[in-house]
Amino acid sequence: MHKQTIKTSTNEYDVIIGKDLLSNLESYLPHNYTNILIVTDETVSKLYLNTVKEALHHKNNIGISVVPSGEATKSMEYFYQLQTAAIENHLDRKSLIIALGGGMIGDLAGFVAATFMRGIDFVQIPTTILAHDSSVGGKVAINHPKGKNLIGNFYPPVAVIYDVTTLHSLPDREIRSGYAEVIKHGLISDTTFFKDVVNTDLTIPLNSDITVEHLRKGIAVKAKVVEEDEKEKNIRKFLNFGHTLGHAIESELGYGEITHGEAVAIGMLFALRVSEGIFDQSLPYEKLFEWMQHNHYPLSIKWPTIDNLIDKMKLDKKSENAVVQMVLLTEVGKPAVQNIDDATLRTYLEKFIRELG
Amino acid sequence: MHKQTIKTSTNEYDVIIGKDLLSNLESYLPHNYTNILIVTDETVSKLYLNTVKEALHHKNNIGISVVPSGEATKSMEYFYQLQTAAIENHLDRKSLIIALGGGMIGDLAGFVAATFMRGIDFVQIPTTILAHDSSVGGKVAINHPKGKNLIGNFYPPVAVIYDVTTLHSLPDREIRSGYAEVIKHGLISDTTFFKDVVNTDLTIPLNSDITVEHLRKGIAVKAKVVEEDEKEKNIRKFLNFGHTLGHAIESELGYGEITHGEAVAIGMLFALRVSEGIFDQSLPYEKLFEWMQHNHYPLSIKWPTIDNLIDKMKLDKKSENAVVQMVLLTEVGKPAVQNIDDATLRTYLEKFIRELG
């Protein structure tokens, strides 16, 4: 079991990573809560809800809300439904919301916790690899039809309890999706970490010890950045590596057509090409491309028009005054934020789309 | 013109109070914003929107959202509508939302600002006396059908620009409503301030200089409390004096039937009676009662059942584990938080309702 303490401007909390943590859940909660609302989705509830309920069985008041799986649930409708559930389960300011699931559940339940009675405690129990990213940094949000994560808060959990045993139930595309963010944490921080991850074969079953190690390192990279820049004024933008195009692809293809990480992986390839062009540097484009190919990441997608992509890239929260900002690399481990004018962006996009075929 | 700086855990901001500030609005904004969304209601827009627009006329991008007047607008529906307006007006993280209006507009537009792209700047331009209270302290929220202000954040504005000239357009019941909170700030802080306010005749036109003075003192009381306890862990609860019963009355009669301040005024009378009983002290119940009577505060209302009142008092965010917490006074200027069991509460309520008639 690894424990890492994350400091934020307002509090600090532990991320606990290990095997078989769920059955001892109560011992990892930072306080003794009377009223708890567990928020989970239909997929995860079938797998782990009973274990969690069992682990909390002598608590007085446990409410449960199961919402549909998938990004579409991060909506105003379910946000409101969960607020109602919190009221109906008599949650008060000393109560707890448990987010049991992947990034969608963490974002949605976290935003409910951030706003219910102006903020109550919440604990994340991530059940995906991707959630190693979203569960650190305190970003919670729901989507607006016009853009992802447009309505939200910075609101850290009081604990993250990461039971890697749950990752064995992940379908292949969820493993790919999660590992894209692990790769990202390698690319923006450290060549050794990047090389280590890019030598991992995702087509064979995950090795728990290696997974714990990758998650631990990924979380450490993320934690270091967000501790320095919680509110995304400057260096936190580095975490957006691959996301400017990635978000645009996700949004244009429709959430669900391609996973978040798969879209980000394509976005990282693009960011590497742009970096090579702008900084006249050699970067591990081929290495990443081959790893993605070997592990069945989608590479030939149904591309939206370039106009639509650029429009969506401008809607990205990181952009200001309608100029696209991208995170590039001057070398592996050295990210830099760069404004890219529309004409340059168009040229790079045309070439990149031709190249991927 | 008075300027008072309020410190919060995350920033500090100025409250500027004076006459004819609106026409020089731009000089009071803390930054130079490119994109601005003005949020106001139908009543206030007819009176002051043109002045504000004129004052900002050379800005590039000013969006305007006018929502219906009244507490019912503090809803999920209008919250969502304003998020859409923010997107459609191309607001980004460096943009500003201006809340032009009373407490409802401040709460609603403030909560939109707190959550749009996880938080952008907002400035309050209060146009009511009541808003002297709500514009300091950083509480923003919308209502849930099951309770007031249940969905919100702690999110301070970057400036409060209080033009007392706007107060001359207030209807009598709005003046009464606002002055109830001024009285409250007197009662929980200082006998002299309380006596000064309770000697003010609200049935004749407001004197601008006296109003500035009362607002300034009220804001100072509130600011002192919230600077010490931003997140309402302890002494901020004192500001809830009169509100436990007040909120219950508002909610049971239906928002709009009685103004917030009118309900709080009745709540303060009740809190004084309970305080006298519990602490065996003489408190200025008669003085407050006579002032309320002289100034046409509603005193004989259509009382809900005591069961319903107690239920609603328990739903108050300040209550924990279903015991009603009330703020009482051991003497004027000395508030104290007290748990009151249901039987005691019932006895006091029965007697109080009989007494008011």
Q: What is the pLDDT of residue A255?
A: 67
Contacts of A94 in chain B (CB under 8 A): 320-321
Q: Which fold has domain A172-356?
A: Dehydroquinate synthase-like, alpha domain (1.20.1090)
A-B Cβ pairs (cutoff 8 Å, strict): 84
Q: What is the pLDDT of residue A53?
A: 95
Alpha-carbon distance A316 to A261, whole Å? Answer: 17
Q: What is the pLDDT of residue A319?
A: 57
Query: Six-digit token pair at A198?
Result: 């890019």
A58 is catalytic: no
pLDDT band at B71 (very low <50, low <70, confident <90, very high): confident
CB within 8 Å: A115 and B115: yes
Q: Which residues pair with B67 in a beta bridge?
A: B41
CB within 8 Å: B322 and A90: yes
Give chain A's residues under pLDDT 70.
255, 316-321
**Domain A2-169 belongs to what architecture?**
3-Layer(aba) Sandwich (3.40)
Out of B83, B90, B139, whose CB is closest to A144? B83
pLDDT of residue B136 exceeding 60, the answer is yes
Out of B118, B150, B317, whose CB is closest to A152? B118
CB within 8 Å: A87 and B114: no
Alpha-carbon distance B244 to A322, whole Å? Answer: 47
- Which residue, chain included where needed, has tokens 């990279």? A221
CB within 8 Å: A153 and B150: no
Domain segments of chain B as ranges: 2-169, 172-356
Contacts of B114 in chain A (CB under 8 A): 153
Alpha-carbon distance B185 to B179, whole Å? Answer: 10
Alpha-carbon distance A217 to B305, whole Å? Answer: 60
Q: Using an 8 Å CB-CB cutoff, list residues of chain A that contact chain B.
A: 9-10, 34, 76, 80, 83-84, 87, 90, 92-94, 114-119, 139, 141, 144, 146-147, 149-154, 231, 317, 319-322
A260 is catalytic: yes
Structure confidence by residue, pLDDT tens digits, A136-170: 989 999 999 988 899 999 999 999 999 999 998 89
- Which residue, chain included where needed, has tokens 């008092």? B313
Nearest CA to A184 out of A174, A192, A194, A176 is that of: A194
Distance from CA of A321 to the nearest CA of B (A): 7
Q: What's chain B look like in SS3?
A: CEEEEEECCCCEEEEEEECCCHHHHHHHCCCCCCEEEEEEEHHHHHHHHHHHHHHCCCCCEEEEEEECCCHHHCCHHHHHHHHHHHHHCCCCCCCEEEEEECHHHHHHHHHHHHHECCCCEEEEEECCCCHHHHCCCCEEEEEECCEEEEEEEECCCCEEEEEHHHHHHCCHHHHHHHHHHHHHHHHCCCHHHHHHHHCCCCCCCCCHHHHHHHHHHHHHHHHHHHHHCCCCCCHHHHHHCCHHHHHHHHHHHCECCECHHHHHHHHHHHHHHHHHHHHCCCCCHHHHHHHHHHCCCCCCCCCCCHHHHHHHHHHCCCCECCEEEEEEEEECCEEEEEEECHHHHHHHHHHHHHHHC
Q: What is the pLDDT of residue B162?
A: 95
Q: What is the pLDDT of residue B321?
A: 62
CB within 8 Å: B90 and A9: no
pLDDT band at B198 (very low <50, low <70, confident <90, very high): very high
Distance from CA of B190 to the nearest CA of A (A): 30
Q: What is the pLDDT of residue B147?
A: 84
Least confident of A229-233, B12-16, B272-276, B342-346: A229-233
Q: What is the pLDDT of residue A320?
A: 58
Q: What is the pLDDT of residue B181?
A: 96
Distance from CA of B152 to the nearest CA of A (A): 5
Span B114-133, average pLDDT: 96
Of A176, A185, A236, A314, the catalytic one is: A236
pLDDT of residue B21 exceeding 70, the answer is yes
Distance from CA of B218 to the nearest CA of A (A): 24
Structure confidence by residue, pLDDT tens digits, B36-47: 999 999 999 999
Q: What is the pLDDT of residue A254?
A: 79
Q: What is the pLDDT of residue B219?
A: 95
